[in-house]
Structure 1
Amino acid sequence: MRDEYIKDAQKVIQDPNVLINVVSRRVKQLRRGSRPLVESLEKLSPEDIALREIIEGKISYEVTHA
């Protein structure tokens, strides 16, 4: 994963645990065939795609408290 993507994504989702969960869930979706919500001229890993989607506001999340 690219450091600059991680830093930018942390500005959107400050809680590191939530960020990890959102990225890992999205990576699973991408690996199962979901289409990326961002375009890139270069080949990105599923992790980098997920981070870019967070940075660009393409993914929303909700924290639920049990």
Structure 2
Amino acid sequence: MNMEYLSTAEEKIPNIPMLVNLISYRTRQLNSGARPMVKRDHAEMDNHDLVLKEIAQGLLTAEMIFQQEETEISDLDFDASILL
């Protein structure tokens, strides 16, 4: 594993579990025949290193979306906003 690409990828995506999941997901895509977004450094370059290079160059990112669902309760005789 290329440690330079790994350290740069950790700077781009500091959440380690998310980074591991992203690398795993993209590596499976490459193993299934997806085209890489960057050129290989050498012919024997592993797909994990290729994914790290994509992340390091900013071509592959991840984001987390948090949503809070508001449930509407219409059968109550009082203001439901105090339940939140």
TM-score, structure 1 normalization: 0.88
* 2:62 counterpart of 1:58: no
Q: Which residue of 2 aligns with 1:18?
A: 18
Shift of 1:62: 2.0
Q: Which has the higher helix share?
A: 1
Look up the SS of the partner of 1:19 in the other structure.
helix
> Identity over the aligned pairs, expressed in percent?
32
Which runs of no fewer than 5 residues in structure 1 stay unpaired? none
Shift of 1:41: 4.0
| Cα RMSD after superposing both structures | 1.4
Runs ≥4 residues deviating over 6 A? none
- Tell me the matched-pair count: 66
The residue identity in structure 1 corresponding to 2:51 is: A
* 2:40 counterpart of 1:40: yes
Cα distance in 2 for partners of 1:61, 1:4 equals 20
Distance 1:48 1:41, change over 3 A: closer
